[in-house]
Amino acid sequence: MIKHLPESTVRRLGIFAHGEENVKVHRDEPVFDGQFSNRCYREAVKQAFTHFSEKAISQGRFDPEMDEILTEQWARIIMHLPYAFQAKRMFPDVFRHDRQHLDSWKQVEEEIGVMPEESDFETTEEWEKAMDGYRRSVSKTESFKQFVEDRIEKGQRASSLIGNQYTGSIFLALMSTFEADYEENANLDNVTFGLCGYGSGAKAKVFEAEVQPSWREIASRWNLFERLEGRIAIDRVTYEALHKGLAKESIITPQGEFALVDVGDEGVEEGMRTYAWVGE
């Protein structure tokens, strides 16, 4: 390549100025391991739920001897959903952990067997494989499927229409749940929701919230599913321009919403997105 470049170009580029014939090109690329990512998510959520339970007990919020288990107290469970079915696929561990002392879990064990013990396997890899199979068995039980239907499924609906996402997914799940319950005329006044956020560094946060009576008035303004039905399809060229940051203007003029107005390109602000409210 160097031999075919004009001499002026070689001098201008500088990196060839000392007669190098081999040049290393460095490029950072993200690496994604789906199974490892799921395992990080699952373990972080279970750890966060365990910590929340311990804190609830120490603060007198929850008495495990007298009170209904936490995941049954929560009328809905709102999860970070990088894809629509992440929650129901990753929640069997928490489902089991919260019920393992109940008679209802003994019935589950009669159906699918007891949880594999690591000491029964020669390697950690064999045990983890057995645990993956056990989680799948839990997810196929009628009790778990009903649990998902009652508490998680409504949060999946908007995500299933959008596809993979990350930033803001817990808020979308919350909107999806509220709008679905609004359309079904459900009564959520003063009920408790469990929520679980997840982010970079495999960190999860479990918390709970009480639904205020004004939720119906607020949810009625969103028209979330109607807005999703009105989306405009784009071609591949347009998609790639957006994905690579080459597009200079929005495909649709923003109105009455937050819009991306700048992406940082220097120093610690490289990649930092700045949003602003755009009026009607």
Residues 168-197: tens digit of each pLDDT: 899 999 999 999 999 999 999 999 999 999
Which of the four pLDDT bands, split at 50, 70 and 90, describes residue 60?
A: very high
Q: What average pLDDT does range 117-129 have in this prediction?
A: 94
Asked whether the beta carbons of 166 and 173 are under 8 A apart, the reply is no
Q: What average pLDDT does range 53-71 have in this prediction?
A: 96
* Residue range(s) in the chain whose domain bears CATH number 3.40.47.10: 34-229
pLDDT at 91: 93
CATH architecture of 34-229: 3-Layer(aba) Sandwich (3.40)
For 192-232, the pLDDT digits (tens) are 999 999 987 789 999 999 999 999 999 999 999 999 998 88
For 248-271, the pLDDT digits (tens) are 888 889 988 899 888 898 889 988
pTM: 0.80
pLDDT-above-90 percentage for the chain: 66
Which of the four pLDDT bands, split at 50, 70 and 90, describes residue 246?
A: confident
Least confident of 69-73, 177-181, 240-244: 240-244
Q: What average pLDDT does range 101-111 have in this prediction?
A: 94
